[in-house]
Copies of this chain bind each other. A is one copy, B any other.
Amino acid sequence: MGDMTYLWDDPAAFADDALAGFCELHADVVRQVPGGAVRRARPQRPKVAVLPGGGSGHYPAFYGIIGPGLADGAVSGNLFTSPSAQDAYSVAKAAHSGAGVVFGYGNYAGDVMNFGLATDRLRAEGIAVDNVVVTDDIASAPESEAQRRRGIAGDFAVFKIMGAAAEEGMDLAGVVRVGRKANERTRTIGTAFAGCTFPGAPEPLFSVPDAQMGLGLGIHGEPGLRDVPLPSAGELAADFVSRVLAEKPADAGERVAVLLNGLGAVKQEELLVLWRPVAALLRESGHVPVLPEVGEFVTSLDMAGVSLTVTWLDDELERLWTAPAWTPAFRRGRTADEPQAVRPEAGEPRADEPVVEYSPASDESRRLAEHVLVALRQVASALGGAESELGAIDAVAGDGDHGRGMVRGIGAALVAAEEAQRAGAGAGDCLVAAGDGWAARAGGTSGVLWGAGLRAAGEALGDRGGSAEVAAAAVNALTTRITTLGGAAVGDKTLVDALEPFRAELLSAVAAGAPAAAAWSRAAEAADEAARNTAELVPRKGRARPLAERSIGTPDPGAVSTALIARTIADHLTGELR
Protein backbone atom coordinates (compact mmCIF):
# COMPACT_ATOMS: atom_id res chain seq x y z
CA MET A 1 0.00 0.00 0.00
CA GLY A 2 1.69 3.16 -1.12
CA ASP A 3 1.07 6.86 -0.94
CA MET A 4 -1.45 7.39 1.77
CA THR A 5 -2.52 9.47 4.67
CA TYR A 6 -3.11 6.99 7.48
CA LEU A 7 -4.01 8.93 10.58
CA TRP A 8 -7.17 10.95 11.01
CA ASP A 9 -10.44 11.00 12.88
CA ASP A 10 -12.64 12.98 10.48
CA PRO A 11 -11.14 13.44 7.01
CA ALA A 12 -13.04 16.71 6.56
CA ALA A 13 -11.57 18.07 9.80
CA PHE A 14 -8.01 16.88 9.17
CA ALA A 15 -6.50 20.35 8.63
CA ASP A 16 -8.33 21.77 11.65
CA ASP A 17 -7.26 18.86 13.86
CA ALA A 18 -3.63 19.17 12.79
CA LEU A 19 -3.60 22.90 13.52
CA ALA A 20 -5.20 22.33 16.91
CA GLY A 21 -2.67 19.59 17.72
CA PHE A 22 0.15 21.89 16.72
CA CYS A 23 -1.13 24.75 18.87
CA GLU A 24 -1.54 22.42 21.82
CA LEU A 25 1.94 20.91 21.42
CA HIS A 26 3.60 24.30 21.03
CA ALA A 27 1.42 26.25 23.43
CA ASP A 28 4.56 27.91 24.80
CA VAL A 29 5.20 29.52 21.42
CA VAL A 30 1.87 29.87 19.61
CA ARG A 31 -1.76 30.60 20.30
CA GLN A 32 -4.58 29.42 18.07
CA VAL A 33 -6.94 32.07 16.70
CA PRO A 34 -9.78 31.78 14.20
CA GLY A 35 -8.14 31.19 10.81
CA GLY A 36 -4.71 30.19 12.05
CA ALA A 37 -2.25 30.92 14.84
CA VAL A 38 -0.11 33.75 16.19
CA ARG A 39 2.90 34.01 18.48
CA ARG A 40 1.97 33.76 22.12
CA ALA A 41 4.58 36.32 23.20
CA ARG A 42 3.51 39.86 22.50
CA PRO A 43 6.32 42.01 21.09
CA GLN A 44 7.96 44.32 23.57
CA ARG A 45 7.42 47.23 21.19
CA PRO A 46 5.28 47.49 18.06
CA LYS A 47 6.76 45.54 15.15
CA VAL A 48 5.61 44.67 11.66
CA ALA A 49 3.59 41.45 11.77
CA VAL A 50 4.85 39.02 9.11
CA LEU A 51 1.99 36.66 8.26
CA PRO A 52 2.58 33.89 5.75
CA GLY A 53 -0.44 31.90 4.71
CA GLY A 54 -2.05 29.49 2.32
CA GLY A 55 -3.71 26.13 2.22
CA SER A 56 -2.84 23.34 4.66
CA GLY A 57 -0.95 20.18 3.82
CA HIS A 58 2.40 21.91 3.37
CA TYR A 59 3.88 21.62 6.88
CA PRO A 60 6.02 23.28 8.15
CA ALA A 61 4.47 25.85 5.84
CA PHE A 62 3.06 27.88 7.29
CA TYR A 63 2.26 27.67 10.99
CA GLY A 64 5.37 25.59 11.72
CA ILE A 65 7.53 28.68 11.24
CA ILE A 66 5.83 30.97 13.75
CA GLY A 67 8.29 32.30 16.28
CA PRO A 68 11.04 34.82 17.05
CA GLY A 69 12.96 35.76 13.92
CA LEU A 70 10.37 34.39 11.58
CA ALA A 71 6.58 34.62 11.31
CA ASP A 72 4.33 36.48 13.75
CA GLY A 73 1.43 34.27 12.81
CA ALA A 74 0.14 32.17 9.96
CA VAL A 75 -3.14 32.04 8.07
CA SER A 76 -4.11 28.46 7.45
CA GLY A 77 -6.77 27.22 5.03
CA ASN A 78 -8.17 23.80 4.43
CA LEU A 79 -6.03 21.18 2.63
CA PHE A 80 -4.56 22.68 -0.56
CA THR A 81 -7.27 25.40 -0.33
CA SER A 82 -6.61 29.05 0.27
CA PRO A 83 -7.78 30.44 3.59
CA SER A 84 -10.78 32.73 3.50
CA ALA A 85 -10.54 36.50 3.64
CA GLN A 86 -12.12 36.23 7.08
CA ASP A 87 -9.30 33.87 8.16
CA ALA A 88 -6.67 36.34 7.00
CA TYR A 89 -8.47 39.26 8.62
CA SER A 90 -8.82 37.41 11.91
CA VAL A 91 -5.15 36.40 12.14
CA ALA A 92 -4.02 39.90 11.16
CA LYS A 93 -6.17 41.48 13.87
CA ALA A 94 -4.69 39.12 16.46
CA ALA A 95 -1.09 39.61 15.34
CA HIS A 96 -1.12 43.35 14.74
CA SER A 97 0.91 45.21 17.34
CA GLY A 98 0.70 48.69 15.87
CA ALA A 99 3.38 48.71 13.18
CA GLY A 100 1.38 47.18 10.34
CA VAL A 101 0.89 43.78 8.79
CA VAL A 102 2.30 42.06 5.73
CA PHE A 103 0.77 38.93 4.25
CA GLY A 104 3.08 36.56 2.38
CA TYR A 105 1.68 33.89 0.07
CA GLY A 106 2.28 31.99 -3.10
CA ASN A 107 0.79 33.23 -6.35
CA TYR A 108 -2.46 31.24 -6.56
CA ALA A 109 -5.78 32.72 -7.62
CA GLY A 110 -7.62 31.85 -4.40
CA ASP A 111 -4.89 33.22 -2.16
CA VAL A 112 -4.55 36.41 -4.19
CA MET A 113 -8.30 37.05 -3.95
CA ASN A 114 -8.76 36.19 -0.28
CA PHE A 115 -5.69 38.01 1.02
CA GLY A 116 -6.62 40.89 -1.25
CA LEU A 117 -10.11 41.13 0.26
CA ALA A 118 -8.68 40.93 3.79
CA THR A 119 -6.21 43.68 2.91
CA ASP A 120 -9.06 45.95 1.78
CA ARG A 121 -10.98 45.29 4.95
CA LEU A 122 -7.99 45.93 7.26
CA ARG A 123 -7.09 49.11 5.42
CA ALA A 124 -10.65 50.29 5.78
CA GLU A 125 -10.10 49.95 9.52
CA GLY A 126 -6.96 52.06 9.33
CA ILE A 127 -4.41 49.26 9.68
CA ALA A 128 -1.35 49.49 7.45
CA VAL A 129 -1.21 46.32 5.33
CA ASP A 130 0.74 45.10 2.36
CA ASN A 131 1.41 41.85 0.53
CA VAL A 132 4.39 39.93 -0.80
CA VAL A 133 3.42 37.39 -3.46
CA VAL A 134 5.96 34.63 -4.10
CA THR A 135 6.61 33.53 -7.70
CA ASP A 136 9.66 31.27 -7.53
CA ASP A 137 8.52 28.22 -9.55
CA ILE A 138 10.42 28.44 -12.83
CA ALA A 139 8.45 25.52 -14.28
CA SER A 140 5.11 27.29 -14.02
CA ALA A 141 5.62 30.05 -16.62
CA PRO A 142 8.47 31.33 -18.79
CA GLU A 143 10.89 33.89 -17.36
CA SER A 144 9.32 36.59 -19.53
CA GLU A 145 6.06 36.09 -17.59
CA ALA A 146 7.67 35.65 -14.17
CA GLN A 147 4.81 37.51 -12.47
CA ARG A 148 2.48 34.64 -13.43
CA ARG A 149 4.64 31.99 -11.79
CA ARG A 150 3.42 30.00 -8.81
CA GLY A 151 5.02 30.12 -5.38
CA ILE A 152 6.53 26.91 -3.99
CA ALA A 153 9.48 26.22 -1.66
CA GLY A 154 10.91 29.68 -2.29
CA ASP A 155 8.16 30.80 0.09
CA PHE A 156 10.40 29.75 2.93
CA ALA A 157 13.43 31.77 1.86
CA VAL A 158 11.31 34.88 1.26
CA PHE A 159 9.42 34.60 4.55
CA LYS A 160 12.61 33.87 6.52
CA ILE A 161 14.13 37.07 5.20
CA MET A 162 10.97 39.10 5.87
CA GLY A 163 10.74 37.68 9.39
CA ALA A 164 14.31 38.67 10.17
CA ALA A 165 13.73 42.15 8.77
CA ALA A 166 10.67 42.70 10.95
CA GLU A 167 12.52 41.30 13.97
CA GLU A 168 15.35 43.78 13.58
CA GLY A 169 12.83 46.63 13.51
CA MET A 170 12.35 47.48 9.84
CA ASP A 171 9.14 49.32 9.05
CA LEU A 172 6.37 47.94 6.86
CA ALA A 173 7.72 49.45 3.65
CA GLY A 174 11.14 48.02 4.43
CA VAL A 175 9.88 44.51 5.15
CA VAL A 176 7.86 44.54 1.94
CA ARG A 177 10.85 45.84 -0.01
CA VAL A 178 13.22 43.09 1.19
CA GLY A 179 10.52 40.46 0.71
CA ARG A 180 9.97 41.48 -2.90
CA LYS A 181 13.69 41.74 -3.50
CA ALA A 182 14.16 38.24 -2.09
CA ASN A 183 11.38 36.93 -4.30
CA GLU A 184 12.90 38.54 -7.39
CA ARG A 185 16.18 36.79 -6.65
CA THR A 186 14.71 33.38 -5.79
CA ARG A 187 14.28 30.49 -8.25
CA THR A 188 12.96 27.00 -7.60
CA ILE A 189 12.68 23.87 -9.71
CA GLY A 190 10.82 20.87 -8.37
CA THR A 191 9.96 17.34 -9.37
CA ALA A 192 7.56 14.65 -8.19
CA PHE A 193 8.11 10.89 -8.13
CA ALA A 194 4.65 9.93 -6.84
CA GLY A 195 1.40 11.64 -5.93
CA CYS A 196 -0.18 12.50 -2.61
CA THR A 197 -3.45 11.33 -1.15
CA PHE A 198 -5.96 13.29 0.91
CA PRO A 199 -7.10 11.78 4.23
CA GLY A 200 -9.84 9.29 3.48
CA ALA A 201 -9.47 9.59 -0.27
CA PRO A 202 -9.65 6.27 -2.10
CA GLU A 203 -6.79 7.11 -4.44
CA PRO A 204 -4.00 9.61 -4.96
CA LEU A 205 -4.76 13.12 -6.19
CA PHE A 206 -2.50 12.38 -9.14
CA SER A 207 0.07 9.80 -10.07
CA VAL A 208 3.37 9.61 -11.89
CA PRO A 209 4.12 6.64 -14.16
CA ASP A 210 6.46 4.01 -12.71
CA ALA A 211 10.15 4.75 -13.17
CA GLN A 212 9.29 8.30 -14.30
CA MET A 213 9.14 11.65 -12.60
CA GLY A 214 7.01 14.70 -13.26
CA LEU A 215 9.56 17.46 -13.78
CA GLY A 216 8.27 20.84 -12.66
CA LEU A 217 5.09 19.44 -11.17
CA GLY A 218 3.47 21.82 -8.68
CA ILE A 219 2.95 21.37 -4.95
CA HIS A 220 -0.75 20.65 -5.47
CA GLY A 221 -0.10 18.34 -8.39
CA GLU A 222 -0.37 21.06 -11.01
CA PRO A 223 1.02 19.94 -14.37
CA GLY A 224 4.71 20.59 -14.83
CA LEU A 225 7.05 20.52 -17.78
CA ARG A 226 6.93 16.83 -18.69
CA ASP A 227 7.41 13.30 -17.45
CA VAL A 228 10.97 12.02 -17.79
CA PRO A 229 12.70 8.77 -16.80
CA LEU A 230 13.74 8.67 -13.14
CA PRO A 231 17.35 9.91 -13.03
CA SER A 232 20.15 9.07 -10.60
CA ALA A 233 20.82 11.53 -7.79
CA GLY A 234 23.77 12.94 -9.70
CA GLU A 235 21.77 13.38 -12.90
CA LEU A 236 18.91 15.07 -11.05
CA ALA A 237 21.34 17.43 -9.33
CA ALA A 238 22.86 18.41 -12.69
CA ASP A 239 19.44 19.04 -14.23
CA PHE A 240 18.19 21.05 -11.26
CA VAL A 241 21.31 23.17 -10.92
CA SER A 242 21.54 24.00 -14.61
CA ARG A 243 17.85 25.00 -14.78
CA VAL A 244 18.08 27.27 -11.76
CA LEU A 245 21.41 28.84 -12.71
CA ALA A 246 20.10 29.59 -16.21
CA GLU A 247 17.94 32.24 -14.54
CA LYS A 248 20.65 33.88 -12.46
CA PRO A 249 19.69 37.56 -12.12
CA ALA A 250 21.89 39.96 -14.05
CA ASP A 251 23.25 41.76 -11.00
CA ALA A 252 23.63 38.64 -8.82
CA GLY A 253 26.84 37.74 -7.05
CA GLU A 254 28.22 34.41 -5.96
CA ARG A 255 26.68 34.04 -2.49
CA VAL A 256 23.41 32.11 -2.39
CA ALA A 257 20.90 30.80 0.10
CA VAL A 258 20.01 27.22 -0.88
CA LEU A 259 17.08 25.01 0.09
CA LEU A 260 16.96 21.37 -0.87
CA ASN A 261 13.35 20.63 0.01
CA GLY A 262 11.63 17.30 0.42
CA LEU A 263 7.95 17.26 -0.54
CA GLY A 264 6.88 14.57 1.92
CA ALA A 265 7.70 10.95 1.21
CA VAL A 266 11.34 11.47 0.27
CA LYS A 267 13.52 10.70 3.28
CA GLN A 268 16.25 12.84 4.78
CA GLU A 269 18.91 10.30 3.81
CA GLU A 270 17.85 10.66 0.17
CA LEU A 271 18.05 14.44 0.40
CA LEU A 272 21.53 14.09 1.92
CA VAL A 273 22.59 11.84 -0.96
CA LEU A 274 21.28 14.47 -3.41
CA TRP A 275 22.91 17.33 -1.53
CA ARG A 276 26.50 16.34 -2.34
CA PRO A 277 26.27 16.67 -6.12
CA VAL A 278 24.07 19.77 -5.79
CA ALA A 279 26.64 21.45 -3.54
CA ALA A 280 29.51 20.38 -5.77
CA LEU A 281 27.84 21.76 -8.90
CA LEU A 282 26.94 25.04 -7.24
CA ARG A 283 30.55 25.44 -6.12
CA GLU A 284 31.86 24.50 -9.56
CA SER A 285 29.73 27.26 -11.03
CA GLY A 286 31.40 29.74 -8.70
CA HIS A 287 28.62 29.95 -6.12
CA VAL A 288 29.03 29.90 -2.36
CA PRO A 289 26.08 28.30 -0.50
CA VAL A 290 25.43 30.31 2.68
CA LEU A 291 23.85 28.29 5.52
CA PRO A 292 22.21 25.89 3.08
CA GLU A 293 19.23 23.94 4.37
CA VAL A 294 18.30 20.36 3.50
CA GLY A 295 14.97 19.09 4.81
CA GLU A 296 11.24 19.72 4.59
CA PHE A 297 10.16 23.34 4.21
CA VAL A 298 7.14 23.34 1.90
CA THR A 299 5.67 19.87 1.59
CA SER A 300 2.63 18.40 -0.17
CA LEU A 301 1.19 15.85 2.23
CA ASP A 302 2.83 12.53 1.33
CA MET A 303 3.91 13.49 -2.17
CA ALA A 304 7.24 11.95 -3.15
CA GLY A 305 9.31 14.72 -4.63
CA VAL A 306 12.06 17.24 -4.13
CA SER A 307 12.85 20.81 -5.10
CA LEU A 308 15.92 23.03 -5.25
CA THR A 309 15.66 26.71 -4.37
CA VAL A 310 18.42 29.27 -4.84
CA THR A 311 18.22 32.85 -3.57
CA TRP A 312 20.99 35.15 -4.77
CA LEU A 313 21.99 37.21 -1.75
CA ASP A 314 23.25 40.74 -1.46
CA ASP A 315 24.66 42.02 1.83
CA GLU A 316 21.25 42.94 3.19
CA LEU A 317 19.61 39.66 2.22
CA GLU A 318 22.54 37.66 3.61
CA ARG A 319 22.29 39.47 6.94
CA LEU A 320 18.58 38.61 7.11
CA TRP A 321 18.93 35.05 5.82
CA THR A 322 21.59 34.23 8.42
CA ALA A 323 19.84 35.94 11.35
CA PRO A 324 18.69 33.72 14.25
CA ALA A 325 15.20 32.24 14.36
CA TRP A 326 13.44 30.00 16.83
CA THR A 327 10.26 28.30 15.68
CA PRO A 328 8.80 24.83 16.18
CA ALA A 329 10.04 23.62 12.78
CA PHE A 330 13.07 25.80 12.06
CA ARG A 331 15.75 26.96 14.45
CA ARG A 332 18.82 28.93 13.56
CA GLY A 333 21.37 30.57 15.81
CA ARG A 334 23.09 29.05 18.75
CA THR A 335 22.38 28.51 22.40
CA ALA A 336 24.67 29.95 25.00
CA ASP A 337 25.79 26.49 26.05
CA GLU A 338 27.75 25.60 22.97
CA PRO A 339 31.44 24.99 23.52
CA GLN A 340 33.42 27.39 21.39
CA ALA A 341 36.71 25.56 21.00
CA VAL A 342 36.90 24.29 17.48
CA ARG A 343 38.79 21.08 16.86
CA PRO A 344 42.03 21.74 15.02
CA GLU A 345 42.10 19.99 11.66
CA ALA A 346 45.87 19.57 11.47
CA GLY A 347 47.95 17.49 13.81
CA GLU A 348 45.04 15.82 15.54
CA PRO A 349 44.96 12.15 16.31
CA ARG A 350 43.17 10.09 13.67
CA ALA A 351 41.64 6.70 14.15
CA ASP A 352 42.85 4.94 11.07
CA GLU A 353 42.95 1.25 10.38
CA PRO A 354 45.42 -0.58 12.57
CA VAL A 355 48.73 -1.12 10.84
CA VAL A 356 49.28 -4.87 10.51
CA GLU A 357 52.76 -6.27 10.73
CA TYR A 358 53.34 -9.79 9.54
CA SER A 359 55.71 -12.28 11.05
CA PRO A 360 58.11 -13.67 8.48
CA ALA A 361 56.34 -16.47 6.65
CA SER A 362 57.72 -19.88 5.76
CA ASP A 363 57.90 -20.84 2.12
CA GLU A 364 55.33 -23.55 2.78
CA SER A 365 52.93 -21.05 4.28
CA ARG A 366 53.45 -18.64 1.39
CA ARG A 367 52.64 -21.41 -1.07
CA LEU A 368 49.55 -22.28 0.92
CA ALA A 369 48.60 -18.60 0.88
CA GLU A 370 48.31 -18.75 -2.90
CA HIS A 371 45.77 -21.55 -2.57
CA VAL A 372 43.92 -19.63 0.12
CA LEU A 373 43.67 -16.63 -2.16
CA VAL A 374 42.35 -18.70 -5.04
CA ALA A 375 39.78 -20.27 -2.74
CA LEU A 376 38.72 -16.86 -1.41
CA ARG A 377 38.24 -15.62 -4.97
CA GLN A 378 36.10 -18.63 -5.79
CA VAL A 379 34.05 -18.08 -2.65
CA ALA A 380 33.62 -14.42 -3.61
CA SER A 381 32.44 -15.46 -7.03
CA ALA A 382 30.01 -18.04 -5.65
CA LEU A 383 28.54 -15.58 -3.11
CA GLY A 384 28.25 -12.97 -5.83
CA GLY A 385 26.24 -15.38 -7.95
CA ALA A 386 24.00 -16.24 -5.01
CA GLU A 387 23.53 -12.67 -3.74
CA SER A 388 19.99 -12.10 -4.91
CA GLU A 389 18.83 -15.59 -3.89
CA LEU A 390 20.29 -15.11 -0.40
CA GLY A 391 18.62 -11.72 -0.21
CA ALA A 392 15.27 -13.19 -1.15
CA ILE A 393 15.52 -15.92 1.49
CA ASP A 394 16.54 -13.38 4.11
CA ALA A 395 13.65 -11.07 3.23
CA VAL A 396 11.10 -13.67 4.35
CA ALA A 397 11.74 -13.05 8.03
CA GLY A 398 14.74 -10.73 8.08
CA ASP A 399 15.76 -7.53 6.39
CA GLY A 400 16.86 -8.98 3.05
CA ASP A 401 20.44 -7.81 3.26
CA HIS A 402 22.22 -11.10 3.92
CA GLY A 403 23.34 -11.53 0.32
CA ARG A 404 24.59 -7.99 0.06
CA GLY A 405 26.33 -8.24 3.45
CA MET A 406 28.14 -11.45 2.55
CA VAL A 407 29.26 -10.09 -0.83
CA ARG A 408 30.50 -6.91 0.79
CA GLY A 409 32.30 -8.93 3.45
CA ILE A 410 34.04 -11.44 1.19
CA GLY A 411 35.07 -8.59 -1.10
CA ALA A 412 36.70 -6.74 1.78
CA ALA A 413 38.29 -9.99 2.99
CA LEU A 414 39.77 -10.64 -0.42
CA VAL A 415 41.23 -7.13 -0.73
CA ALA A 416 42.81 -7.42 2.72
CA ALA A 417 44.19 -10.89 2.06
CA GLU A 418 45.67 -9.83 -1.28
CA GLU A 419 47.32 -6.87 0.38
CA ALA A 420 48.75 -9.13 3.07
CA GLN A 421 50.03 -11.56 0.45
CA ARG A 422 51.73 -8.76 -1.46
CA ALA A 423 53.40 -7.76 1.81
CA GLY A 424 54.82 -11.28 2.09
CA ALA A 425 52.33 -12.79 4.52
CA GLY A 426 51.80 -16.52 4.81
CA ALA A 427 48.48 -18.35 4.72
CA GLY A 428 47.72 -17.82 8.41
CA ASP A 429 48.33 -14.09 8.30
CA CYS A 430 46.37 -13.83 5.04
CA LEU A 431 43.37 -15.37 6.73
CA VAL A 432 43.79 -13.09 9.76
CA ALA A 433 43.87 -10.10 7.42
CA ALA A 434 40.84 -11.44 5.55
CA GLY A 435 38.92 -11.78 8.80
CA ASP A 436 39.82 -8.28 9.98
CA GLY A 437 38.88 -6.85 6.59
CA TRP A 438 35.54 -8.64 6.61
CA ALA A 439 34.70 -7.52 10.14
CA ALA A 440 35.73 -3.91 9.56
CA ARG A 441 33.93 -3.38 6.28
CA ALA A 442 30.82 -5.52 6.36
CA GLY A 443 29.25 -4.85 9.75
CA GLY A 444 26.17 -6.72 10.85
CA THR A 445 26.02 -10.07 12.59
CA SER A 446 27.45 -12.05 9.70
CA GLY A 447 30.31 -9.57 9.42
CA VAL A 448 31.45 -9.87 12.98
CA LEU A 449 31.05 -13.66 13.01
CA TRP A 450 32.86 -14.42 9.75
CA GLY A 451 35.48 -11.81 10.55
CA ALA A 452 36.28 -13.30 13.92
CA GLY A 453 36.01 -16.84 12.53
CA LEU A 454 38.50 -16.23 9.72
CA ARG A 455 40.87 -14.57 12.16
CA ALA A 456 40.66 -17.62 14.43
CA ALA A 457 41.24 -19.91 11.45
CA GLY A 458 44.29 -17.91 10.46
CA GLU A 459 45.69 -18.01 13.98
CA ALA A 460 45.17 -21.76 14.07
CA LEU A 461 46.92 -22.13 10.72
CA GLY A 462 49.86 -20.04 11.81
CA ASP A 463 52.97 -20.46 9.69
CA ARG A 464 52.30 -24.06 8.77
CA GLY A 465 51.88 -25.47 5.28
CA GLY A 466 48.82 -27.22 3.97
CA SER A 467 47.51 -30.62 5.04
CA ALA A 468 44.10 -32.13 5.72
CA GLU A 469 44.82 -32.01 9.46
CA VAL A 470 45.91 -28.37 9.43
CA ALA A 471 42.84 -27.36 7.43
CA ALA A 472 40.60 -29.28 9.82
CA ALA A 473 42.23 -27.54 12.78
CA ALA A 474 41.55 -24.19 11.14
CA VAL A 475 37.90 -25.08 10.55
CA ASN A 476 37.65 -26.26 14.13
CA ALA A 477 38.98 -22.95 15.43
CA LEU A 478 36.69 -20.97 13.12
CA THR A 479 33.63 -22.90 14.26
CA THR A 480 34.43 -22.62 17.96
CA ARG A 481 35.00 -18.88 17.63
CA ILE A 482 31.75 -18.30 15.75
CA THR A 483 29.57 -20.38 18.07
CA THR A 484 31.13 -18.84 21.18
CA LEU A 485 30.82 -15.29 19.92
CA GLY A 486 27.34 -15.64 18.49
CA GLY A 487 25.95 -17.61 21.39
CA ALA A 488 23.67 -19.66 19.12
CA ALA A 489 23.14 -23.40 19.42
CA VAL A 490 22.19 -26.02 16.85
CA GLY A 491 18.45 -25.68 16.23
CA ASP A 492 18.31 -21.90 16.66
CA LYS A 493 18.04 -21.47 12.87
CA THR A 494 21.35 -19.72 12.33
CA LEU A 495 24.52 -20.45 10.37
CA VAL A 496 25.54 -22.68 13.27
CA ASP A 497 23.05 -25.24 12.00
CA ALA A 498 25.21 -25.72 8.89
CA LEU A 499 28.57 -25.03 10.47
CA GLU A 500 28.46 -27.57 13.30
CA PRO A 501 27.60 -30.58 11.06
CA PHE A 502 30.29 -29.40 8.67
CA ARG A 503 32.90 -29.34 11.42
CA ALA A 504 31.78 -32.66 12.85
CA GLU A 505 31.87 -34.44 9.52
CA LEU A 506 35.20 -32.89 8.51
CA LEU A 507 36.93 -33.77 11.77
CA SER A 508 35.53 -37.27 11.67
CA ALA A 509 36.58 -37.86 8.04
CA VAL A 510 40.07 -36.49 8.56
CA ALA A 511 40.49 -38.52 11.74
CA ALA A 512 39.49 -41.58 9.70
CA GLY A 513 42.32 -40.80 7.28
CA ALA A 514 40.34 -39.36 4.36
CA PRO A 515 42.31 -37.03 2.05
CA ALA A 516 41.42 -33.33 2.22
CA ALA A 517 39.28 -33.13 -0.92
CA ALA A 518 37.20 -36.17 0.01
CA ALA A 519 36.79 -35.06 3.61
CA TRP A 520 35.65 -31.57 2.55
CA SER A 521 33.22 -33.01 0.02
CA ARG A 522 31.57 -35.20 2.64
CA ALA A 523 31.50 -32.32 5.12
CA ALA A 524 30.05 -29.95 2.52
CA GLU A 525 27.35 -32.52 1.79
CA ALA A 526 26.45 -32.59 5.48
CA ALA A 527 26.33 -28.79 5.58
CA ASP A 528 24.09 -28.69 2.52
CA GLU A 529 21.61 -31.10 4.00
CA ALA A 530 21.61 -29.33 7.36
CA ALA A 531 21.07 -25.96 5.71
CA ARG A 532 18.08 -27.30 3.80
CA ASN A 533 16.67 -28.70 7.01
CA THR A 534 16.69 -25.31 8.69
CA ALA A 535 13.52 -24.60 6.71
CA GLU A 536 11.65 -26.63 9.34
CA LEU A 537 12.97 -24.55 12.23
CA VAL A 538 11.70 -21.43 14.02
CA PRO A 539 14.39 -18.88 14.90
CA ARG A 540 15.17 -18.63 18.59
CA LYS A 541 17.81 -15.92 18.32
CA GLY A 542 18.08 -12.46 16.90
CA ARG A 543 15.68 -9.96 15.55
CA ALA A 544 12.88 -12.17 14.35
CA ARG A 545 12.53 -13.94 17.66
CA PRO A 546 9.09 -13.17 19.11
CA LEU A 547 6.81 -14.33 16.35
CA ALA A 548 9.01 -15.55 13.56
CA GLU A 549 6.77 -18.33 12.31
CA ARG A 550 6.66 -16.66 8.98
CA SER A 551 10.12 -18.10 8.23
CA ILE A 552 8.87 -21.67 8.48
CA GLY A 553 9.40 -23.30 5.10
CA THR A 554 12.35 -21.08 4.25
CA PRO A 555 15.89 -22.10 5.17
CA ASP A 556 18.11 -19.82 7.22
CA PRO A 557 20.12 -17.59 4.86
CA GLY A 558 23.22 -17.78 7.06
CA ALA A 559 23.15 -21.57 6.98
CA VAL A 560 22.65 -21.54 3.21
CA SER A 561 25.60 -19.22 2.62
CA THR A 562 27.75 -21.29 5.00
CA ALA A 563 26.96 -24.44 3.06
CA LEU A 564 27.73 -22.63 -0.18
CA ILE A 565 31.13 -21.56 1.13
CA ALA A 566 31.87 -25.12 2.26
CA ARG A 567 30.81 -26.52 -1.11
CA THR A 568 32.89 -23.98 -3.03
CA ILE A 569 36.05 -24.79 -1.09
CA ALA A 570 35.40 -28.52 -1.40
CA ASP A 571 35.03 -28.12 -5.17
CA HIS A 572 38.21 -26.07 -5.24
CA LEU A 573 40.11 -28.85 -3.44
CA THR A 574 38.65 -31.51 -5.70
CA GLY A 575 39.54 -29.49 -8.78
CA GLU A 576 43.10 -29.00 -7.56
CA LEU A 577 43.56 -32.73 -7.22
CA ARG A 578 42.23 -33.52 -10.68
Contact = CB atoms under 8 A, between A and B. Distances in A.
A346 interface: no
Contact of A4 (B69, B193, B397, B486): B193
Contact of A14 (B41, B273, B299): B273
Contacts of A110: 443-445, 447-448
Interface in A230-276: 230, 232-234, 236, 264-276
A465 interface: no
Contact of A343 (B39, B113, B230): B39
A543 interface: yes
Contacts of A2: 1-4, 194
Given A444-B82, A445-B82, A543-B218, A292 B25 contact: yes
A146 interface: no
A577 interface: no
A512 interface: no
> Which 10 residue pairs across A and B have the least CB separation, nearest first?
A2-B2, A93-B351, A86-B440, A21-B272, A110-B445, A7-B270, A81-B444, A18-B269, A90-B351, A42-B343
Contact of A353 (B34, B342, B404): B34
B351 A443 contact: no
Interface in A87-146: 87, 89-94, 108-110, 113-114, 117, 139-141
A232 B395 CA distance: 30
A578 interface: no
Interface in A311-353: 324, 326, 329, 331, 333-344, 349-353
A408 interface: yes
B9 A232 contact: yes
Interface in A363-397: 395, 397
B339 A109 contact: no
22 contacts: A1-B208, A6-B193, A9-B232, A18-B272, A25-B279, A33-B350, A34-B352, A41-B343, A77-B444, A78-B443, A81-B399, A84-B443, A86-B439, A93-B349, A109-B541, A110-B443, A150-B543, A167-B337, A198-B400, A198-B401, A223-B544, A264-B267
A4 B273 contact: no
A21 B276 contact: yes
A557 interface: no
Interface in A200-229: 201, 205-210, 213, 218, 220-226
A546 interface: yes
A545 interface: yes
A333 B342 contact: no
Contacts of A208: 1
A547 B224 contact: yes
A17 interface: yes
A185 B452 CA distance: 35
Given A6-B266, A335-B326, A225 B81 contact: no
A231 to B, nearest CB: 9
A92 B91 CA distance: 51
A271 B336 CA distance: 31
Contact of A85 (B20, B275, B448): B448
Nearest to A323: B337
Given A17-B272, A80-B401, A109-B445, 5 more contacts: A7-B271, A9-B277, A24-B279, A223-B547, A333-B337
A109 B276 contact: no
Nearest to A548: B223
Copies in the complex: 2
A442 interface: yes
Interface stretch (A57-65, A172-180, A520-528): A57-65
B304 A4 contact: yes
A400 B199 CA distance: 12
B269 A207 contact: no
Contacts of A3: 1-2
A287 interface: no
Contact of A338 (B55, B56, B326, B451): B326
B485 A113 contact: yes
Nearest to A343: B42
Contacts of A35: 351
A78 B351 contact: no
A12 interface: yes
A68 interface: yes
Contacts of A7: 233, 236, 266, 270-271, 273-274, 306
A68 B448 contact: no
Given A1-B210, A233-B7, A25 B84 contact: no
A497 interface: no
Interface string A428-458: 0000000010011111110111011000000
A181 interface: no
Given A78-B401, A114-B448, A341-B44, A194 B1 contact: yes
A43 interface: yes
Given A236-B7, A270-B8, A401 B41 contact: no
Contacts of A77: 443-444
B114 A68 contact: no
B108 A335 contact: no
A148 interface: yes
